[in-house]
Amino acid sequence: MPIKGQVWKYGDDVNTDVIFPGKYTYTVSDPAEMGEHALEDLDPEFRFKVQPGDVIVGGKNFGCGSSREQAVVCLVTKQVGAIIARSFGRIYYRNCINNALPAISCPQAVDALERGDEIEVDLEAGEIRSAKGTFAFPPLPEAVMGIFEAGGLIPYTRKRLGVED
Amino acid sequence: MGHTFAEKILAQKAGLAQVVPGQIVEVTPDAALSHDNTAPISRIFGKIGVARVARPDIHVVVLDHACPAPTTKHAQNHKTIREFVAEQGIEHFYDVGRGVCHQVLAEEGFALPGALIVGSDSHTPTAGAFGAFAAGIGRSEMAAIMATARIWLRVPESLKIVVHGRLRDGVTSKDLALHVIGDLGADGGLYQSVEWHGEGVEALDMEARIVIPNLMAEMGAKNGYIPPDDVTLAWLKGRARAPFEPVYPDDDATYARVVEYDAAAIEPVVAKPHTVDNVAPVREVAGTPIDQAFLGTCTNGRLSDLAAAAQVIEGRKVAPGVRLIVIPASSEVYLAALDAGYLRTFVEAGAVVESPGCGPCMGNHLGVPAEGEVSISTANRNFRGRMGTKESDVYLASPLVVVASAIAGQIAHPDDL
C-alpha cells in the first residue's frame, strides 16, 4: 500500500543533532519520548503537527553527523512514512534500512516538492506521485532488501538465527 | 587492474579474490567498538533473543560520553553496561576515566594496520590513521553483531587526496583537514573511502595524523586511510595486541576522484557556526568575542596538542570572563601531561582541567555554554545545539588557535598575541 501524506521540506546537510539533540542521548530511552524531541532544533512545530504517513523531504547529505539511531527512531515513532533526499549521510541511511524507514534518493522529487504538498510514495512501483509530477526511484540493493522486508534488522536477525517468536 | 585500499581489505576480509565498488560483502570485524550506548545496544540485543554474545572477544567497550556520570540516569546507564559486559564475558571493557573510545582503541593496540573495525560512533574512522578500515555503524547493527558477529558493508568508491610539500610552522593537521573539508564540502566524500597520500601526510607525527581520519566523518566519508609507515610502526611498538599485516592500495588503483593540495599554502583556519565545512582563515574572524574555549576530544586531546597549547599559554593568563576547559583524551595522556607539567601550566593560567572523556563536546556536561554564548573548541563538530543549546555558536580550530583565543578573549591567530 502506498505511503500517503504531506511534505515537510528542509534544506541541505540536515544533521542528527538537529533531528535528535545529543543532550538527550542518554537521558531519553523510550521511543515514544524520543518522538517528542523529533526535529526539535530544526523545526519546533514539526513534532506537534506531523501526521502518520507524512514525508520529510531534504536536500543533500540528510542525516549527516552522529551515528545516533534515535535520529531515525524518533521519526519512526512519529510514523513518518518516508524520507526523500538528494543524498543521505551513510550511517543515517543504514539506520533507516535497519528500522525499515524508507530512505529514498530522488533529486528530481526534491527539486519539485514543497512543504504541504500531498504525495504518495509507492515502494513496490518505485514511484513518488504528486500534483507536481511522478518521479521514479531505484529499488534497494537486493542484498539489503531482505532487512527492509523483514521490518528491520532486529526481526531480520531473529529470522536468520531461527529465534522463535 | 589495481585496487584501492578499501577494495583490497574488504575482499580479503570477505574471503573473495576481488570486489568492486557498489558490491555488498559480509564480514566479521576484528574489533567492534561501543561506548555509553552499550546500554541501549544491550537492550536491543535482548530483543533479538539469543542468550550469549557470539564473539565477546571482538567487542571493545569504553565509557566516555558522560564520565563520571553527571546524573542518576547516566549512572544507571553505566551500571547496566558494567553488568552486561560481566555477564557476557566481554573482557575489553574500559570504565570511567580511561578516556575517549577512539583514543583508548589506539592506545590499547586494537587500531592496527589491516584491521577491520566498526563502531557505533560516527568518529570510528579515526583508526584509519593506523591503516585500519574503520567505519561507523548504528546501535541496531552493533546489537546484530553481538548476535551474529557479522555485518554487511557496501564496498565504497575511493577518493584520493594527495598533499604535496609540508605544512608551515604553526599550521597543524587540524587546519589541513578543515581546509580540505571546507574545499570539498560536508558531503565531499559521501559514502567514500578517503585515502590520504603525499609528503604532507608522511611528514606528520602519529598524533597529528590521527586528526585527519577522525574528521573524515565530517565529509560524509565511510572511512579514512593513511598508509602505515615507520612512524606508524614505531607508535604501535609495545602497543599492538595482535600481529598485523598492513594493506596498501595498488599504484594503478582506480579512484572516483583525485584531489591535490599544496601543504605550504594552507594557513590556520576555523570552522564557523553551524557546519564543519563553513571554513575561513582565522584572521577573517579574529576579534570575535568568546565566552569559552575547549581543548580536548578525540580530535585534539592528545599529548602533543596539550604540549603545543601549554607552550602558548605558559606565563600568560586566560582572559577575564573567559573559561578555558582542558580535557586530556585519555588517562595515559593525562599522566604524561601531568609529568610534563602541562596541567600545572594550564591551572596556573586559570584553566579548568577535567577528567578524561568526551566532556562538553556533545552537550552532556563539564562546561556547556549558556544561551547566547560563543565557544571555540578543538572538537570535530559545531552543529546547532551540539554543545547543549541551539542558541549558542561553536567555532572549531586547532589547539594553538583555541588557546590563543582563550588568552585574547576573542578569536585570535597565535602569531598575533
The CATH number given to whatever domain includes residue A70 is 3.20.19.10
Residues B245 and B373 in one domain: no
Distance CA A25, CA A67 (A): 11
Number of H helices, E strands in chain A: 8, 7
pLDDT of residue A26: 83
Render pLDDT for B192-241 as a digit per residue (tens, 0 to 9): 999 999 999 999 999 999 999 999 999 999 999 999 999 999 999 999 99
Side-chain-facing half-sphere of B43: CA atoms under 13 Å: 9
Q: How much is the average pLDDT of B128-146?
A: 98
The β-bridge partners of B396 are B271, B377
Helices (H), A55-152: 70-77, 90-98, 107-112, 142-149
Query: Is pLDDT above 90 for B300?
Result: yes
Chain B residues lying within 8 Å of A23, measured CB to CB: 362-364, 385, 388
Of B261, B291, B309, which marks where a domain is finished? B261
Distance CA A137, CA A102 (A): 12
Query: Is pLDDT above 90 for A39?
Result: yes
Residues B253 and B300 in one domain: no
Chain A residues lying within 8 Å of B65, measured CB to CB: 25-26
Q: How much is the average pLDDT of B351-360?
A: 97
Distance CA A18, CA B136 (A): 19
Residues B329 and B382 in one domain: yes
Distance from CA of B257 to the nearest CA of A (A): 18
Residues B247 and B294 in one domain: no
Residues B219 and B305 in one domain: no
Of B261, B287, B319, which marks where a domain is finished? B261
Of B261, B291, B307, which marks where a domain is finished? B261
pLDDT of residue A165: 66
Chain A residues lying within 8 Å of B141, measured CB to CB: 94, 98, 153
Query: Is pLDDT above 70 for A19?
Result: yes
Mean pLDDT of chain A: 95
Is residue B1 in a domain?
no
Query: Is pLDDT above 80 for A86?
Result: yes
Q: Would you call B74 and A27 a contact, using CB atoms and an 8 Å cutoff?
A: yes
pLDDT of residue A72: 98
Task: Residue A41: give the domain boundaries.
Answer: 3-161
Distance CA A146, CA B80 (A): 32
Of A41, A67, A154, nearest to B390 by CB-CB distance is A41
Domain count, chain B: 2
Residues B28 and B120 in one domain: yes
Task: Residue B323: give the domain boundaries.
Answer: 270-416
Domain count, chain A: 1
For residue B87 the three cell numbers come to 555477564
Report whether the peptide linkage leading into residue B3 is cis, meaning its omega lies within 30 degrees of zero. Answer: no
Domain CATH number, residue B204: 3.30.499.10
Render pLDDT for B239-286 as a digit per residue (tens, 0 to 9): 999 999 999 999 999 999 999 999 999 999 999 999 999 999 999 999
Q: How much is the average pLDDT of A90-111?
A: 96
pTM above 0.90, yes or no: yes
